[in-house]
């Protein structure tokens, strides 16, 4: 998020490191980062990968991770996910997507 707006996103069927590196690259293309960029994440293994850490380094971004078991450290991101799930799934008969393309289209709207 940049200025309370989603700057880059990506949807995949799984959560490999590629998911977050693609989202970060898209964010950097949409909004060129400043040298003091702070990227906050949880402690998931995707956020500890070499490619992701190199991408942050290349953009002179500082990495910040939440404390173990403390979701309040990233309250803004948690709020975004909650709102996204509510808006995307609202009115759907089933809480699943037909396929990956359906999920991507729903998030893009």
Beta-bridge mates of residue 30? none
Q: Tokens 């939440």 correspond to what residue? A: 66
Please choose, from the candidates 93, 43, 95, the residue with its C-alpha nearest in 3D space to the C-alpha of residue 67. 43
Is residue 77 within 8 A of residue 1, CB to CB? The reply is yes
**Domains detected in the chain:** 17-108 (3.30.420.10)
Q: Per residue of the chain (109 residues), give pLDDT as tens.
A: 456 677 788 888 888 899 899 989 998 898 888 877 888 777 788 888 899 999 999 998 888 777 777 767 667 777 776 777 777 767 666 667 777 788 778 777 6
Q: What is the pLDDT of residue 92?
A: 67
What SS3 string covers 8-76?
CCCCCCCCCHHHHHHHHHHHHHHCCCCCCCEEEECCCHHHHCHHHHHHHHHCCCEEEECCCCCHHHHHH
Instruction: Say what the pTM is.
Output: 0.70
| Residue 94: φ, ψ to 5° | -120, 150
Q: What is the pLDDT of residue 13?
A: 83
pLDDT tens for 25-55 read 998 898 888 877 888 777 788 888 899 999 9
Please choose, from the candidates 96, 76, 93, the residue with its C-alpha nearest in 3D space to the C-alpha of residue 85. 96
Q: What is the pLDDT of residue 57?
A: 92
């Amino acid at each position: 998020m940049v200025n309370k707006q989603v700057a880059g996103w990506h949807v995949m069927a799984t959560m490999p490191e590629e998911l977050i590196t693609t989202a970060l690259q898209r964010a950097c293309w949409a909004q060129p980062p400043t040298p003091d960029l702070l990227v906050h994440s949880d402690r998931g293994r995707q956020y500890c990968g070499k490619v992701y850490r190199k991408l942050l380094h290349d953009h002179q971004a500082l990495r910040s991770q939440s404390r173990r078991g403390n979701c309040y450290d990233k309250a803004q991101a948690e709020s975004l996910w909650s709102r996204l799930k509510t808006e995307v799934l609202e009115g759907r008969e089933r809480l699943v997507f037909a396929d990956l393309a359906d999920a991507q289209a729903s998030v893009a709207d």
